[in-house]
Chain A
């Protein structure tokens, strides 16, 4: 049952991710990326990461992708024509397919004889807001506070970039 859910969500995530990359209309790309995020949130739920699943939908599918769609609308981007297929692109696509094939074949082999202590069963409250929050505000308090400085500098940077006067010519 769990593996069926994993395959449905995983195939959905991969297909929408491919459509994101190859669709020529940026708005459709962005909407498919939102779907990828939602599928990934489902996979996080399978991994007992309930808090991260909710954050994934709120921050990624909610905030970041709204920003993307807003900018696409603001710039009024139309669907572009596909540029002709060049040798470079064919070569790159071929290398990509090889990479994926290598990962699919190699990764299961690596973890077959692994000595990592894999827990098949986790505690009842694994991944809840309470557990993650307690960890975040005790052991990881300094990184958490530094994150606020990062966000502040991002806000200031975005405002300054957006206010910049442009002198043409």
Chain B
């Protein structure tokens, strides 16, 4: 589904990704861990098409096609979804209006039948329920005055409606208490299917207790240093990253 080969990428002229390789097959869940500044968020944002992130060399193939030249909305239409680490507020635009615009554009591009207003509202309410979000949130401005946890749940709610093929979760667990974490995890797990893949970036092993990955990768200094199964995360939890990056101090 996703094939990244020898990817070099820069942000504001600085090389952040330095030859990254990653292969994700349908149905798989990958966790990417690593110290701060290792390039984890760069990777997810770049995959979603953020303009400030420039590909210097290498390939990003999504379902066999190079997506590096695609606009962010085209990637969304292709089925890539990014759940933001810090979802931005759009004051005055209701969540429902936003979802309507998003779903109209995306479903049209995907050749899916459009949802009428009633269907949209029913589906949106259902999605809210799945992530324990009061349906009143549909009327509120996008992320406007939401708590950190509400923003994250809102991201997952949108994802449930858009049904992406590839879900990129950028530190979706940060700022969540254990109850909210379970709710979010339940939402994500409900999307797990043989034709869908999930790549989640996280600092903490605890997320992986709830969304159990098939693979864990350690990203440091712009490269995948080590890959393994879910037990690798436990090892990282105990030992930190120092033993991999060659640095003495361990950062959790």
* A-B complex is real: no
User: Contact residues of A with B, CB < 8 Å?
Assistant: none
User: Contact residues of B with A, CB < 8 Å?
Assistant: none
